[in-house]
Chains A and B, each alone.
Chain A
């Protein structure tokens, strides 16, 4: 036992006792190397102590050579060791078919079919961690061979033979069942842990977390949960009524289903509360007596879906608002145009021209996804029907927001329509000079008609000029002025580029 750090007499006696035991024992390190073996073990495997110590068990005994069966044998043995390391609890293999390489007294090496029963016990170091695995193996090859012989020659079977055969068969079945259950359990656990929905198991009157999966950890912000009551692990949900819901499920034994239920969880920055929307079920778990022992929590975070739905509703509301406002605008244009056009033909003409003007500005705005438009573009768009050479724009780049763009579009339309009817854009050589500048965030614009017929201020203020004045004051928060100079109309406009809150 030279690898064990035992120095006193008692320890030496213990080591001697271990060596003298008729049962085969071996002591393995946590990476499955031989740390110690007793004589009985050496006798069973037919090896010398020095052949084994410090070497890896699986290097020496590979489960019987090549092939799936060998790999499966080695896998079963390794899995048992790993369970010991993981759980810190002893693990048993009732029956394992594990051929080994033996060296016979003549020094010949051969593979020998062996059947074993093994118990693996964790041995802890001073620090409490598992330091070694103690393997107690029983070679039950003889029993197994006996069973086979009995099966092969049923007539001569004795009661004892049959009995031992049944015991072995049972042991084998049990082990097969155990393996199957174990792998099923592992598969279920894997599914549970990796399920896209969140899952947790709560037990007892305080709803203590027994287990929870990755999605549940994600939802709750990777807090430490296992072994803690809900009220302690997730204190923020108590006042939100979720503890009462759990109690209700426990008392009534009836499942509770929540649909898109809002819950505030401390998953934001620095534990700030964030609203999640959850579809979930609290399913009562019953014990053997049929009493509710716990609650199975399962569900999905549907926050994205709920928020997308809310956004969609907002967008539909906004669309509805805009459409209804546009309809009201069109209604206004129709009614006001009708007041100044007695003849149906001229009404239709004036009405359509104003609708087209509105539509032109919409087209411009659509191009920029309703972010805005440039003053020069609006002017060009609204007046190009009157000939591009007759309206001369001159000014810097001015970017307008959508409301300003729509407003200026209407203003330019009304000015151009008026000029075509009464001013410089009638047939002839008349032109319009449009100059603008920008200073201290204020746009100053002058529409100057030249070389047209001489004009006189109209007695009747038509819808056009009222619309212009209204737009300037109402929509642009600016000021405007009409000067009827002898050689043509001069319209001056100033408005702030950015409307600041008053």
Chain B
């Protein structure tokens, strides 16, 4: 089931619902990705990516434990890490300055996650 191009990619996950995080991890492992880390809160996420730590790509839930994930997104942007947002909000779910960034809407399928990751990692479908 692993997807050529995504194998071995280190994916950072920020998601506060543990069941959803588990689902995402299962999906990512099925694609052959490595889970770089999973954070349930903005503070924890910032800690994971502090210093030289650099995932290949990140999947960020917009609303984590009552906070917005944008500080994490900014830190990852500075490192040049491509981002995919996930949100339960509608089309206007992203705040000003982040509109138009790649987004998957909850609930999502494995195919939706795979397509979004391949798009931001600029991997062509085999």
Chain A residues with CB under 8 Å of chain B are 317, 320-325, 327-333, 335-336, 339, 403, 407, 410, 466-467, 470-471, 474-475, 501-502
Q: In the bound complex, how far is the Cα of B87 from the Cα of A323, in angstroms? A: 11
Q: In the bound complex, how far is the Cα of B23 from the Cα of A328, in angstroms? A: 9
B20 at the A interface (CB under 8 A): yes
**Cβ–Cβ contact A325 & B44, under 8 A:** no
- What residues of B have a CB within 8 angstroms of the CB of A403 in the complex? 65
- What residues of A have a CB within 8 angstroms of the CB of B18 in the complex? 407, 467, 470-471, 474-475
Q: Would you give the 0/1 interface string for B83-126, flagging 1 where the beta carbon is closer than 8 Å to chain A?
A: 00001111000000000000001111000000000000000000
Q: In the bound complex, how far is the Cα of B108 from the Cα of A470, in angstroms? A: 21
Q: In the bound complex, how far is the Cα of B56 from the Cα of A298, in angstroms? A: 59
Q: In the bound complex, how far is the Cα of B22 from the Cα of A407, in angstroms? A: 14
**Cβ–Cβ contact B89 & A335, under 8 A:** no
Nearest residue, chain B, Cβ from A471: B18
Are A470 and B26 also in contact (CB < 8 A) when A322-B88, A403-B65 are? no
**Cβ–Cβ contact B106 & A324, under 8 A:** yes
**Cβ–Cβ contact B19 & A467, under 8 A:** yes
Contacts A339-B26, A407-B18, A470-B22 aside, 5 further interface pairs with beta carbons under 8 A come to A321-B89, A403-B65, A474-B21, A502-B43, A502-B44
- What residues of A have a CB within 8 angstroms of the CB of B107 in the complex? 324, 327-328, 330-331
Of the candidates A324, A332, A467, which one forms a contact with B88 in the assembled complex, judged by CB atoms under 8 Å apart? A324
- What residues of B have a CB within 8 angstroms of the CB of A331 in the complex? 23, 107
B interface, size bucket? 20 to 34
> Which 7 A-B pairs have CB atoms at the shortest separation, nearest pair first?
A324-B88, A332-B23, A474-B18, A332-B19, A321-B88, A324-B106, A328-B107
- What residues of A have a CB within 8 angstroms of the CB of B44 in the complex? 502
**Cβ–Cβ contact B22 & A332, under 8 A:** yes
- What residues of A have a CB within 8 angstroms of the CB of B90 in the complex? 320
**Cβ–Cβ contact A329 & B19, under 8 A:** yes
**Cβ–Cβ contact A502 & B88, under 8 A:** no
- What residues of B have a CB within 8 angstroms of the CB of A335 in the complex? 23, 26
Nearest residue, chain A, Cβ from B61: A325
CB distance from A412 to the nearest CB of B (A): 15
- What residues of A have a CB within 8 angstroms of the CB of B26 in the complex? 335-336, 339
**Cβ–Cβ contact A325 & B88, under 8 A:** yes
CB distance from A469 to the nearest CB of B (A): 10
Q: Taking each of A328, A471, A502, which has the highest tally of chain B beta carbons within 10 Å of its own beta carbon?
A: A328
**Cβ–Cβ contact A327 & B106, under 8 A:** yes
**Cβ–Cβ contact B106 & A325, under 8 A:** yes
Nearest residue, chain B, Cβ from A330: B107
Q: In the bound complex, how far is the Cα of B20 from the Cα of A410, in angstroms? A: 14
Q: In the bound complex, how far is the Cα of B43 from the Cα of A365, in angstroms? A: 27
CB distance from B21 to the nearest CB of A (A): 6
Of the candidates A322, A327, A336, which one forms a contact with B22 in the assembled complex, judged by CB atoms under 8 Å apart? A336
Q: In the bound complex, how far is the Cα of B30 from the Cα of A418, in angstroms? A: 26
